[in-house]
Amino acid sequence: MTREGDVVRAAACEFARAFEARLGSGRLRYQEPLAPYVNWRVGGPAEWFFIARTRTDLIVAVRTAREAAMPVTILGYGANVLVSDTGVAGLVILNRTEGMEVRGEEIWAESGMNLVTLARRACEAEIGGFEFLMGIPGTLGGAIVGNAGTREEWIGERVLEVEALDERNEVLLWSRAQLDFGYRRSRFQRTSEVVLAARLKGYRASRASIEAKMQRMLEARTHQPSGPSAGSVFKNPPGDYAGRLIEACGLKGYRLGGALISEQHANFILNTGGATAREIRALIQLAKAAVRERFGILLEEEVRFLGVWDS
């Protein structure tokens, strides 16, 4: 082994020792396959992998990795990410921090809280305003980062404040006015801050009315393509729909290996079995180029690309 290799190996061993000293032995995994943790079911391994079960887990893991100058990737339910076939360098933290408290019409929840679970527990507490989360895969943290929602409602409308770990490893509270929410946008997309928890505001409603709306949301989702996918690949451009534009380019049903542009909805790309991340990304690039050439519209991806890519 070269001297450089010795240095890298020694640094990795030191990181692992420090990590396990702070968070317990046996919890840090090496070269963990990521495909089982993402909706597309593709991608290579995480160099280092950890499941955060508590807010303290999450904070300590991020701080330890940063002290070792190691890249940190936070993964929720992998609903809107494409992991490269070569995997992800550094530490990947699977966020399963799921603490939640109801305070009147407000909900405090940790960032690893499943969105559907949040909506159901709000219903049990007779708090309306979260029904639109039914059928949206993912965690509260990921939803806040991407301001997830439907055409009519977004999580940003329900946020009062967000607790985050900033780049200096300090825990801060950001009010909604400071979060720069927009269509599929928030401040966290341009920072390295890690969302820890959020305070959300709903409204009083009967359980029956909440359940009825939740059922309508679920029924609307049944019309979407089934199978491993990340949901909508592209944001809708102003005044139009990405799916319509891609379909108009004749790309519905276009296939590369195991990856397929859905015949049901052209803004969905499905893993029909054995697809690679490279094939899925190639379809994304093909659709983007075709729409730009025909309509002069540059589509913007909703999905995040994780790991190392050739181009």
Catalytic residue, candidates 47, 163, 279, 302 = 302
Name every residue whose Cβ is closer than 8 Å to that of residue 104 and which is 6 or more positions away in sequence.
none
The letter for the amino acid at 281 is R
Active site residue 193: no
Helix, strand or coil, per DSSP, at residue 14: helix
Catalytic residue, candidates 186, 229, 232, 262 = 232
What would the two tokens of residue 246 be?
């891609």
Distance CA 223, CA 23 (A): 43
Instruction: Give the full edge-to-edge strand order of the sheet including 171-175.
Output: 100-103, 106-110, 194-201, 159-165, 171-175
Distance CA 154, CA 161 (A): 15
Contact 200, 253 (CB under 8 A): no
Catalytic residue, candidates 184, 279, 281, 301 = 184
Active site residue 302: yes
The letter for the amino acid at 71 is P
Active site residue 221: no
Contact 263, 252 (CB under 8 A): yes
Q: What are the catalytic residues?
A: 184, 232, 302
